[in-house]
Amino acid sequence: MPKNMDRRNFLKTTYRAVLGAGGTALLGYYYLGKETVKNRATSIQKRDYSVPPVDALPDLSIVEGDDIEKMVDRGINLIGGIERFISKGDKVTIKPNIGWDRVPEQAANTNPDLVKKVVELCLNAGAEKVIVVDISCNDPVRCYQRSGIAAKALEAGAVVSIPKERNFRRLKINGSVLDEWPVYKDFIETDKVINIPIAKHHNLTGLTMGLKNWYGILGGRREALHQKIDESIADLASFIQPTLTILDAYRILLRNGPQGGSLDDVALKKTIAFSTDQVAIDAFGATLFGLKPESLGFLKVSYMRGIGEIDLTKIKIAREKI
* Domain 41-321 sits in CATH 3.40.50.11440: yes
| Cβ atoms of residues 259 and 100 within 8 Å | yes
The pTM (predicted TM-score) of the whole model is 0.90
Residues 6+ apart with CB under 8 A from 127: 86, 88, 89, 90, 91, 92, 192
Rounded mean pLDDT, 235-261: 98
**Chain segment 55-69, per-residue pLDDT in tens:** 999 999 999 999 999
Q: Which of 259, 210, 252 is nearest to 233 (CA)?
A: 210
Rounded mean pLDDT, 148-155: 99
Q: Where are the domains of the chain?
A: 41-321
Residue 183's region, left for phi above 0, alpha for psi from -120 to 50, else beta, is beta
Q: Are strands 240-241 and 47-48 parallel, antiparallel or unpaired?
A: parallel
CA dihedral 4, 113, 91, 238 (to 10 degrees): -160
Q: How confident is the model at residue 23 (pLDDT cuts 50, 70, 90)?
A: very low
Q: What is the pLDDT of residue 222?
A: 81
H-state helical runs in 100-195? 112-124, 140-146, 149-156
Phi, psi of 122 (to 5 degrees): -65, -45
What kind and span of H or E run contains 281? helix 278-287
Residues 234, 108: Cα–Cα separation, whole Å: 22
Q: Which of 115, 79, 256 is nearest to 198 (CA)?
A: 115
Residues 142, 53: Cα–Cα separation, whole Å: 39
| Cβ atoms of residues 90 and 101 within 8 Å | no
CA dihedral 44, 50, 52, 53 (to 10 degrees): -120
Q: What is the pLDDT of residue 44?
A: 55
Q: How confident is the model at residue 165 (pLDDT cuts 50, 70, 90)?
A: very high
